[in-house]
Structure 1
Amino acid sequence: MRNGRKIKLTRANKIILITALGDYYYQQRAMNTGWRETGYLILKVDSLSASKKAAFTSEEVCLARNAVNQLRNKKIKQGQYTDATDDMLLKLI
């Protein structure tokens, strides 16, 4: 694992991350770029039990950060509350 990092995901953060990655996955799939890596990360996050630390590669953290940031920006444009999304983004930084 290159520059691996352990991140503890709560149940709420896990849901936010899967939602963000799902949106990102379909966007990448439409453009036919990088969707396999996102799909594998979705499966990895979904298989994790909540409240346990999981190891992620730096590439996975970067991918997750991009997806969560995109979800956050989408919510801001829609005028929605983003504190939970901000919390997830801080875990990834």
Structure 2
Amino acid sequence: MRKIKLTRANKSILLKALALYYYRERTLGHSTQEVGKLILKIDSLPADKRVAFSTEEIRLMRTTINQLRNGRLAKGQYTDAADDMLLKLY
């Protein structure tokens, strides 16, 4: 377990990245139970609080945020919030 402090902006970017991943996996017919649990966990947390996450949850967050970041870069959009969240996860 590792504790990470989620700011309001980081919480928002994380939920957006996980939601995109959740719906893509659901469309493909893959299991979305773990992603759904993580979304509910993060959504229920108040901003600016340190929260413990498992290694698997952190891996999933890194993967989804990186996908969101790369998608934004491909469109020429800013990635400041995604970059900030990735730094917290590493």
TM-score by length of 1: 0.93
The aligned counterpart of 1:74 is: 71
Match of 1:23 among 20, 38, 44: 20
Whichever residue aligns with residue 42 of structure 1, its letter is: I
Q: Aligned equivalents of 2:16 and 2:63: distance in 1?
A: 13
- Unaligned 5+ runs, structure 1: none
Q: CA deviation at 1:34?
A: 3.4
> What secondary structure does 1:50 align onto?
coil
TM-score by length of 2: 0.96
Q: Aligned equivalents of 1:5 and 1:32: distance in 2?
A: 31
Q: Aligned equivalents of 2:87 and 2:76: distance in 1?
A: 20
Is 1:32 aligned with 2:25?
A: no
Runs of 4+ in structure 1 over 6 Å off: none
> What secondary structure does 1:26 align onto?
helix
Percent identical residues: 59
Q: CA deviation at 1:39?
A: 0.6
- Unaligned 5+ runs, structure 2: none
Match of 2:4 among 4, 7, 12: 7
